[in-house]
């Protein structure tokens, strides 16, 4: 990078360690070098030990690299630095919380403790399973939110809403919001009206004013989509503007229920997670925040004399506030580059760095409102820009600047001057600018890419630095430096090239094509492991063993290469090959999933990275439900559906092109960069991750997208007109896509290609480059061997099963019975008590009902499994899976007992409960065909266990069928 000695700006930063510094560290400016030297310099101060300096990074790898480099630059060795706070925010706060946070849940009204063994769940799918169990239970226990649940198309999306709120610093407590952190949820009326006023200003057409942006985005206003009393098009849409009144009315809509709902879900999820000794990353940070706010002694103890935060553009609001609380004095140094802020979807906020001065004062004031938590002054902030770029040529840097002012849509107008004013211009230190910067396009973009790669490799025109010698030094004249640099140049090889794409799917297509031609390309980053042939085959055998599944057999037969028609014959006659039947029977003997997986892969001779990855994933999967095989099937299916990715250790490629998404390329550099797939709808990517029914957005706060209502005469889920109106009045933002573009371009040291197919995006066409259209002709480098991919699978079309709660098939009136009784809280507490007791935690009963539970459980024989998630597929068209939670499943050698607690004072609802228990019955019947199964309701008030005879599957289907259309797929009026 810089050789040995820092440049002047770097020197300034390294030497000045006291005070607040905002470092604008653009791409390739030697940021890590500077930070590590600064750290080493702070250590030289007398009385300063590594534990006095907190160095927070964004990734674990970055933390490890920092520690490694500091060890080389300071008298401390890696072992001494091992316990130093050089860590990610998450890792650091996790330690703090486990050490000092035991009593913290009480501060927000949760009667629980944080144990040493607190588990941090990082696997999204696993957390999803836990959350789904929670939310099913929550729905069960909160009949007052029935109407909200009816409007939710996917309750599991509440999980990401919670994560988002936590990142914003919104934290619930038992009654209301912790330290008023819930304020943003209400929205900012003034800010919104400002925004609206701007969006609703008429545009200037050639013949006078034309409709405002706000008007055009709600031009198709159709009152019939909404509840009957929604404003009509005439009331909303004027010309050339929207009318103000309905917009104000929309902003001021009554959201008391919605806010209470989100509060309760959030709060009870925290309770639920803590009761199970786990937290997610986001919730953990939130609890650490509460701890540092509430416990002055801990705050004093953990505070650091110096705090440095790397990649500050990737922090969220909560992390900013944590930084303030963790600093003991105003020796704070944040380093980052707003132009590389690309993780908005992880709820980071670029404003942390862009409006640093304003935010630091505001957050300090907030934190000090009732007690002085931040003791130091924050009004003197030194901004240090690092300007010297040690990576790219002048031409690359100049194009990079252009990316930030490139419009992302046809109509978008950007104030280029204003943006440029925010950019610290970078100076290239490279003396030889031999850059080729080309925009190339062809209808077959994959061929084009491969063609260009072959064109570049070994081509002197595209020279890159291939030698370290002779080095340039500061003592040399500019001419001497240039001469030295020129001598280091030579023709590039494959490994000098990187291809970046916006989407993983494009990368996968390219990988496939390159393999065909034998061009060495290695994909780096997450792989859709569950979408591989290995995973599909494994899934097939699991299904075969589980239920002699025809799809499974079809996959397995197809893999052997037999023709489709022959496979069909076998399937119809169910005369499977003997070898396969034998194999299936021995597979069925497997007791563990690990053994099962190994056996399948051994049989097929799979021992590569994918096979090992799958084995690892499936064996680490934890046991929450009934049978391991069916659990594995669901696990794979869910991962497949969620498109989840897993990092796989692939064999290190020798001389090959690197292929990765732009996101995963951050921080890296390559001599030659292809920024591929700069196509319409691909890059920039339009549209937000707006899947959830309930959303938070600045400045309108928490809103719901659809509502359940019977106002039109029958049950129906309507679009919610205030949401449509308010979001229609908000401008769309593509700044993050532009920054992504900037990141891609600034990875290049010397040469840069933008490639596009037949419909290039504005990013391609609006850059000041003349597009060229070479005719691709790709040479085959090594013969493509067919047997490397021995089979291709086209699984038969299957409609996605609809997931419904067992409560959907029950008559709503049963809930009324419950509420007329003793309220939901009573029921909740009883269930919690029963669960604890069943787990053997021996809680003491606090009322008669709980006593009765104790009496009951003490008489039962067998293993107790409380709160078991139960999933029953129903053979309907469309396929339906009913999901519920079994309160208690008791497993004895030959007998299975299913018990559901009811706190009702009467038995009016028994007929409805029978449906629920029947579902559980059939699940158990399938899992344990050799056992007698009994299903009972335990009326806790009466201390009586009533056995319920189950409905048949056929009866269940008949009950479910009419509800499917009504609940999960409301027809439009």
Q: Contact residues for DNA (CB under 7 A)?
A: 58-60, 88, 122, 124, 205-208, 210-211, 216-217, 219-220, 239-240, 281, 342, 345-346, 409-411, 502-505, 525-526, 643, 645, 661, 663-664, 680-681, 685-690, 727-728, 732, 762
Name the residue nearer to DNA (CB basis): 145 or 721: 721
Residue 704 contacts residue 151 (beta carbons within 8 Å):
yes
CB of 189 to DNA, least distance (A): 20
Query: In angstroms, what is the minimal distance from the CB of 222 to DNA?
Result: 8
Distance CA 761, CA 683 (A): 7
CB of 663 or CB of 895, closer to DNA: 663
CB 139 within 8 A of CB 145: yes
In sequence order, which ranges of 778-859 are alpha helices (DSSP H)? 813-821, 824-838, 848-859
Strands (E), 738-894: 748-756, 802-805, 863-874, 880-892
Closest CA to 525 of 386, 619, 665: 665
Token couple for 878: 């469309």
What values do phi and psi take at 109, rounded to 5?
85, 25
Considering beta carbons, is residue 116 or 410 the nearer one to DNA?
410
The least distance separating DNA from the CB of residue 659, rounded to whole angstroms, comes to 12
Residue closer to DNA by CB (options 207, 565) is 207
Helix (H) or strand (E) holding 382: strand 381-386
Has 27 been labeled as part of a binding site?
yes
Smallest separation, CB 230 to DNA (Å) = 17
- Cβ-based nearer residue to DNA, 362 or 688: 688
Answer yes or no: is 25 a known binding residue.
Answer: yes
Query: Is 458 labeled as ligand-binding?
Result: no
19 vs 202, beta carbon nearer DNA: 202
- Report, in Å, the least distance between residue 233 CB and DNA: 9
To DNA, the closest distance from the beta carbon of 730 in angstroms equals: 7
How far apart CA 456 and CA 942 sit, in angstroms, is: 82
Please, which residue, 688 or 908, has the CB nearer to DNA? 688
Residue 902 assigned to a binding site: no
Residue 862, annotated ligand binder? no
Q: Tell me how far apart the alpha carbons of residues 247 and 915 are, in angstroms, rounded to a whole number.
A: 45
CA–CA distance, 64 with 54 (Å, rounded to integer): 14
Q: Is the dihedral of CA 96, 100, 104, 105 positive or negative?
A: positive
220 is in an annotated binding site: no
List the one residue out of 51, 745, 807 whose CA is nearest residue 435.
Answer: 745
3-state per-residue secondary structure call for 385-446: EECEECCCCHHHHHHHHHHCCCCCCCCCCCCHHHHHHHCCCCEECCCCCCCCEEEEECCCHH
Token pair recorded at residue 59: 């990734």
Q: Is 290 exposed, middle or buried (0-12, 13-18, 19+ CB in 10 A)?
A: buried
Which CB, 660 or 903, lies closer to DNA? 660
Q: Give least dist CB 727 to DNA, A.
A: 4
Q: Name the phi and psi angles at 954, rounded to 5.
A: -60, -45
> Which CB sits closer to DNA, 115 or 205?
205
Q: How far is the CB of 58 from DNA (least distance, A)?
A: 6
| Torsional class of 169: left (φ above 0), alpha (ψ -120 to 50), beta (otherwise) | left
Residue 182 is labelled as binding a ligand: no
Tell me whether strands 464-465 and 489-490 are parallel, antiparallel or unpaired.
antiparallel
Whole-number Å distance between alpha carbons of 504 and 300: 46
C-beta closer to DNA: residue 207 or 477: 207
Report the nearest approach of DNA to the CB of residue 56 (Å).
Answer: 12
Least distance between DNA and beta carbon 637 (Å): 18
- Which of 18, 63, 23 minimizes the C-alpha distance to 10? 23
Contact call for residues 812 and 963 (beta carbons, < 8 A): no
* 31 appears as a binding residue in the annotation: yes
Residue (128 or 873) nearer to DNA, CB: 128
Per-residue CA distances from 445 to 471, 684, 737, 738, 756 (Å): 39, 17, 21, 22, 6
Least distance CB 735 / DNA (angstroms): 13
Specify binding-site residues.
25-32
Specify binding-site residues for ATP.
25-32
């Amino acid at each position: 990078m810089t050789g040995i000695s820092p440049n002047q700006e770097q020197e300034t930063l390294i030497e000045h360690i006291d005070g607040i510094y905002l470092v604008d560290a653009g791409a390739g400016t030697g940021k890590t070098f500077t930070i590590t030297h600064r750290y080493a310099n702070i250590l030289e101060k007398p009385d300063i030990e590594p534990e006095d300096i907190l160095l927070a990074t964004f990734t674990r790898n970055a933390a490890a690299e920092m520690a490694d480099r500091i060890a080389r630059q300071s008298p401390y060795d890696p072992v001494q630095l091992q316990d130093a706070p050089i860590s990610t925010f998450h890792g650091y706060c996790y330690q703090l919380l486990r050490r000092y946070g035991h009593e913290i849940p009480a501060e927000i009204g949760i009667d629980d403790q944080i144990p040493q063994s607190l588990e941090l769940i990082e696997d999204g799918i696993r957390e999803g399973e836990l959350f789904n169990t929670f939310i099913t239970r929550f729905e069960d226990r909160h009949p007052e939110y029935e109407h909200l649940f009816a409007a939710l198309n996917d309750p599991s999306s509440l999980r990401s809403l919670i994560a988002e709120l936590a990142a914003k610093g919104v934290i619930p407590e038992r009654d209301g919001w912790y330290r008023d952190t819930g304020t943003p949820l209400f929205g900012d009326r003034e800010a919104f009206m400002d925004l609206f006023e701007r969006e609703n200003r008429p545009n200037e057409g050639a013949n006078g004013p034309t409709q405002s942006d706000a008007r055009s985005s709600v031009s198709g206003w159709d009152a019939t989509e909404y509840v009957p009393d929604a404003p009509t098009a005439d009331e909303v849409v004027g010309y050339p503007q929207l009318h103000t009144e309905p917009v104000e009315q929309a902003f001021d809509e009554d959201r008391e229920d919605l806010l209470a709902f989100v509060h309760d879900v959030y709060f009870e999820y925290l309770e639920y997670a803590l009761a199970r000794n786990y937290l997610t990353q986001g919730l953990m940070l939130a609890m650490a925040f509460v701890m540092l706010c509430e416990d002055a002694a801990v705050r004093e103890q953990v505070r650091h004399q110096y705090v440095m935060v790397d990649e500050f553009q990737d922090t969220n609001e909560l992390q900013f506030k944590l930084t303030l609380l963790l600093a003991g004095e105003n020796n704070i140094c944040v380093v980052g580059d707003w132009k590389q802020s690309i993780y908005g979807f992880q709820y980071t906020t670029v404003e942390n760095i862009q409006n640093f001065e304003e935010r630091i004062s505001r957050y300090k004031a907030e934190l000090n409102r009732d007690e002085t938590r931040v003791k130091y002054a924050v009004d003197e902030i030194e901004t240090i820009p690092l300007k010297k770029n040690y990576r790219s040529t002048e031409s690359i840097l100049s194009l990079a600047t252009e990316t930030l002012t490139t419009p992302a849509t046809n109509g978008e107008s950007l104030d280029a001057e204003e943006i440029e004013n925010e950019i610290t211009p970078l100076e290239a230190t490279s003396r030889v600018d031999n850059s080729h910067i080309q925009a190339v396009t062809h209808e077959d973009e994959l061929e084009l890419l491969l063609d260009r790669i072959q064109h570049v490799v070994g081509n002197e025109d595209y020279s890159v630095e291939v030698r370290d010698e002779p080095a340039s030094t500061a003592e040399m004249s500019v001419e001497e430096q240039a001469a030295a640099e020129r001598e280091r140049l030579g023709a590039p090889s494959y490994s000098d090239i990187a291809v970046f794409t916006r989407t993983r799917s494009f990368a996968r297509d390219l990988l496939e094509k390159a393999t065909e031609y034998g061009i060495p390309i290695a994909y780096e980053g997450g792989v859709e492991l569950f979408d591989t042939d290995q995973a599909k085959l494994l899934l097939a055998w699991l299904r075969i063993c589980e239920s002699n599944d025809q799809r499974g057999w079809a996959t397995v037969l197809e893999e052997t290469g037999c023709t489709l028609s022959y496979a069909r014959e076998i399937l119809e006659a169910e005369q499977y090959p003997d070898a396969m039947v034998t194999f299936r029977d021995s597979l069925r003997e497997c007791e563990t999933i690990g053994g099962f997986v190994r056996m399948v892969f051994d049989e097929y001779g799979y021992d590569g990275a994918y096979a090992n990855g799958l084995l690892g994933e499936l064996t680490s999967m934890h046991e929450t439900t009934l049978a391991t095989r069916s659990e594995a099937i669901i696990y794979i299916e869910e991962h497949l559906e969620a498109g989840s990715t897993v990092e796989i250790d692939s064999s290190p490629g020798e001389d090959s092109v690197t292929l990765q998404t732009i996101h995963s390329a951050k921080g890296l550099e390559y001599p030659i960069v292809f920024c591929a797939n700069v196509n319409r709808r691909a890059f920039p990517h339009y549209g937000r991750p707006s899947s959830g029914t309930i959303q938070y957005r600045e400045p309108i706060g928490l809103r719901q997208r659809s509502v359940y209502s019977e106002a039109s005469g029958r049950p129906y889920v309507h679009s919610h007109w205030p949401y449509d109106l308010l979001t229609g009045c908000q401008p769309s933002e593509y700044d993050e896509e532009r920054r992504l573009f900037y990141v891609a371009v600034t990875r290049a040291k010397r040469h840069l290609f933008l490639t596009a197919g037949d419909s290039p995006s504005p990013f391609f066409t609006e850059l000041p480059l003349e597009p060229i259209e070479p005719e691709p002709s790709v040479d085959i480098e090594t013969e493509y061997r067919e047997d490397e991919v021995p089979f291709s699978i086209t699984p038969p079309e299957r409609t996605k099963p609809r997931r419904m709660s067992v409560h959907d098939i029950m008559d709503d009136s049963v809930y009324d019975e419950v509420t007329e009784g003793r309220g939901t809280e009573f029921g909740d507490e009883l269930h919690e008590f029963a669960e604890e007791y069943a787990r053997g935690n021996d809680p003491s009963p606090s009322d008669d009902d709980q006593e009765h539970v104790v009496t009951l459980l003490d008489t039962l024989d067998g293993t107790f499994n409380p709160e078991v998630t139960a999933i029953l597929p129903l053979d309907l068209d469309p396929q339906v899976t009913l999901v519920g939670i079994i309160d208690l499943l008791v497993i004895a050698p030959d007998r299975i007992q299913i018990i559901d607690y009811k706190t009702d004072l009467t038995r009016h609802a028994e007929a409805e409960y029978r449906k629920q228990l029947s579902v559980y019955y059939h699940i158990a019947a399938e899992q344990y065909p050799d056992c007698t199964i009994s299903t009972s309701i335990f009326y806790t008030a009466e201390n009586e266990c009533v056995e319920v005879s189950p409905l048949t599957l056929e009866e269940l289907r008949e009950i479910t069928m009419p509800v499917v259309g009504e609940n999960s797929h409301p027809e439009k009026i």
